[in-house]
């Protein structure tokens, strides 16, 4: 199974939107996808139409090794697409994961817990896509240790562009345990009408020429509107430009992942 972790310490850049739409496109094409919600805000769980309060077991229990991923994964409306949901309980997990509870008082290898959980489902899914919180800690570390690809949504906005540089020292650290991780940047929320947005898009490519994908996700009210229906835009509005952008992203990643 290939694992794609969607990350950026900057908030609101399109991590959850990218995770959900990419997963739907892959699933529609017959790829068996497991979406993993690793953000305590549970935006991914909500955006697929589920209420995080409804689950007795979820990613919190997987990370504390009280449940398996297979225990918590649920079917979605889409064939080939399952979701490992989360809840706000995940907020307190950082300390709990490290503290452990199996006698030694420490969890040995806490950063490998998710990777090991995913590897048990190797025969069940072709791709796992992990949505992560906008903070660096145990959750993001676990998601990156498990990943074949770190996919960074880079919003076409100057401060988001500046925030990209902070990710690379973190990724260098991760390479010590996961040396083969690939890194790619997808530009998001490009507003072609503004010079600012176009200039930042160019800056991202010029600064990270080898890492930046050709696909650009355009700013679109359709993407934001889809959240009202608690469904990804590729499902609600498959003919919209932004849905086409996400299908193009899937094309590009299929060749790399």
Ligand X SMILES: Nc1ncnc2c1ncn2[C@@H]1O[C@H](COP(=O)(O)OP(=O)(O)OP(=O)(O)O)[C@@H](O)[C@H]1O
Answer left, alpha or beta for residue 82, where phi above 0 means left and psi between -120 and 50 means alpha: beta
The CA distance from 237 to 222, in Å, is 7
Question: Where does this chain touch ligand X (CB under 6 A) — which range of 87-95, 119-127, 199-207, 222-230?
Answer: 222-230
Q: Select the binding partner of residue 233 from ligand X, Mg ion, none (C-beta < 5 to 8 A, by kind).
A: none
Instruction: List the single partner that 215 binds among ligand X, Mg ion, none, CB under 5 to 8 Å by kind.
Output: none
Which DSSP helix (H) or strand (E) runs through 2?
strand 2-6
Q: Tell me how crowded residue 206 is: count the other CB atoms within 10 A of its CB.
A: 9
CB nearer ligand X, residue 107 or residue 188: 188
Q: Is 219 in the site for ligand X (CB under 6 A)?
A: yes
Q: Write the DSSP symbol of residue 46.
A: H
Kindly state whether residue 15 participates in binding ligand X, applying the rule CB under 6 A. yes
- Establish if 49 lies at the interface with ligand X (CB under 6 A): no
Q: By CB neighbour count within 10 A (0-12 exposed, 13-18 middle, 19+ buried), where does 105 fall? A: exposed
Shortest Cβ 152–ligand X spacing (Å): 10
In the list 3, 13, 43, 242, the residue contacting Mg ion (rule: CB under 5 A) is 43
Angle, in degrees to the nearest 10, between helices 221-228 and 241-254: 100
Rg (CA), the chain: 17
The answer to whether 115 and 1 are in contact (CB under 8 A) is no
Q: Which of 39, 48, 128, 249 binds ligand X (CB under 6 A)?
A: 39
Which of Mg ion, ligand X, none has residue 144 at its interface (CB below 5 to 8 Å by kind)?
Answer: none
Q: State which residue, 36 or 67, has the beta carbon closest to ligand X.
A: 36
**230 in the Ramachandran plot: left (φ > 0), alpha (ψ -120 to 50) or beta?**
left
Of 107 and 160, CB closest to ligand X: 160
Distance of CA 7 to the CA centre of its chain: 6
Q: Residue 59 or 242: which CB sits closer to ligand X?
A: 242
Query: Site for ligand X (CB under 6 A): which residue of 16, 86, 237, 240?
Result: 16
Q: Work out whether the CA dihedral 200, 203, 205, 211 comes out positive or negative.
A: negative
Site track for Mg ion across 14-33, x = CB under 5 A: -xx-----------------
The answer to whether residue 248 forms part of the interface with ligand X (CB under 6 A) is: no
Stretch 226-245 residues interacting with ligand X (CB under 6 A): 227, 242
Q: Which is nearer to ligand X, 64 or 244 (CB)?
A: 244
Other residues' Cβ atoms within 10 Å of the Cβ of residue 178: 18
* Nearest of 223, 229, 251 to residue 16 by alpha carbon: 223
137 binds ligand X (CB under 6 A): no
State the residues that interact with Mg ion by CB under 5 A. 15-16, 43
State the residues that interact with ligand X by CB under 6 A. 11-17, 39, 41, 43, 134, 188-189, 217, 219-220, 223-224, 227, 242
């Amino acid at each position: 199974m290939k694992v794609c972790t969607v990350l950026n310490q900057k908030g609101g850049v399109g991590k959850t939107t990218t995770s959900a739409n990419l997963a739907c496109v892959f699933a529609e094409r017959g790829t068996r996808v497991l979406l993993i919600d690793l953000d305590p805000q549970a935006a991914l769980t909500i955006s697929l139409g589920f209420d995080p309060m409804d689950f007795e077991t979820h990613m919190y229990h997987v990370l504390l090794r009280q449940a398996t991923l297979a225990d918590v994964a649920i079917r979605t409306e889409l064939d080939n697409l399952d979701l490992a949901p989360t809840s706000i309980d995940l907020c307190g997990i950082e300390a709990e994961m490290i503290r452990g509870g199996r006698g030694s008082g420490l969890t040995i290898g806490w950063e490998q817990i998710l990777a090991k959980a995913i590897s048990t489902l190797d025969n069940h899914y072709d791709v796992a896509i992990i949505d992560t919180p906008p903070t660096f800690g145990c959750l993001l570390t676990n998601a990156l240790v498990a990943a074949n690809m770190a996919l960074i949504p880079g919003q076409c906005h100057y401060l988001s562009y500046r925030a990209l540089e902070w990710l690379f020292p973190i990724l260098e650290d991760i390479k010590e345990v996961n040396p083969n991780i690939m890194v790619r940047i997808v530009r998001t929320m490009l507003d072609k009408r503004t010079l600012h947005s176009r200039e930042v898009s160019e800056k991202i490519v010029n600064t990270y020429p080898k890492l930046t994908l050709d696909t650009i996700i355009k700013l679109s009210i359709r993407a934001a509107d889809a959240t009202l229906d608690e469904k990804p835009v590729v499902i609600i509005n498959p003919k919209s430009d932004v849905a086409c952008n996400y299908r193009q992203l899937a094309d590009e990643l299929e060749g790399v992942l």
